[in-house]
Amino acid sequence: MSQKAKARAIVQERYEFQTVLALSPDGLAAACARAAEGATIRMGGSTTPVKIKIGDDGTFSGVYAIKGVGHLLTIMQFVVVGVKAPDNQMMVKLTVGDFLFKKGSLGMKPTINAGKIMQKFVDVLRAELAAG
């Protein structure tokens, strides 16, 4: 298994999720905005929205980027998508796109850059979604 594949597996296990809940696209947008606001580390990086789109058909898609200090380097990109599900519910899915990582040496696991910021975003978003 290559280092890239190992890093991808870690990202999928720790950060990506999918859930179905009763929520409006505006509610999901507000939850994502609050999570992005909280997902920041002083002198470490911050989460910034790249493209937010609320469709007329009740869908939501938000592309976010975790940028390093000075907003020069994009460390990770991820997308939160909300699509309509049966029974007036919404299926919310978080998928991570490109990301930077450090190779693990001597059999150690790779380290995901900005993993702590991403964990904060996921934890706050999950709490926001669960709180409704």
Partner 1 sequence: MGTFVVLLLMVAGYWVYRFVVKSIRAATGAAVDAAAKGVSLAYDAHKQRQSSVMWFAPGAGSASALHDHLTARAADLGAHDFSLDLVERRGRQVVRCTIAPGVDAEALRANLLRAARESDPSCALLLP
Q: Which residues bind partner 1 (CB under 8 A)?
A: 34, 37-38, 106-109, 120, 123-124, 126-128, 130-132
Smallest distance, Å, CB 70 to partner 1?
A: 20
Residue placing its CB nearer to partner 1 in the complex, 72 or 106: 106
Q: How far is the CB of 19 from partner 1 (least distance, A)?
A: 12
- Least Cβ distance, residue 131 to partner 1 (angstroms): 4
What kind and span of H or E run contains 89?
strand 89-99
CA distances for 41 relative to 34, 50, 116, angstroms: 15, 19, 8
- How far apart, in whole angstroms, are the C-alpha atoms of residue 35 and residue 31? 6
Q: Closer to partner 1 at the Cβ: 40 or 59? A: 40
The gap between the terminal CA atoms of the chain, to the nearest Å, is: 40
d(CA 24, CA 58): 7
Q: Which is nearer to partner 1, 61 or 129 (CB)?
A: 129
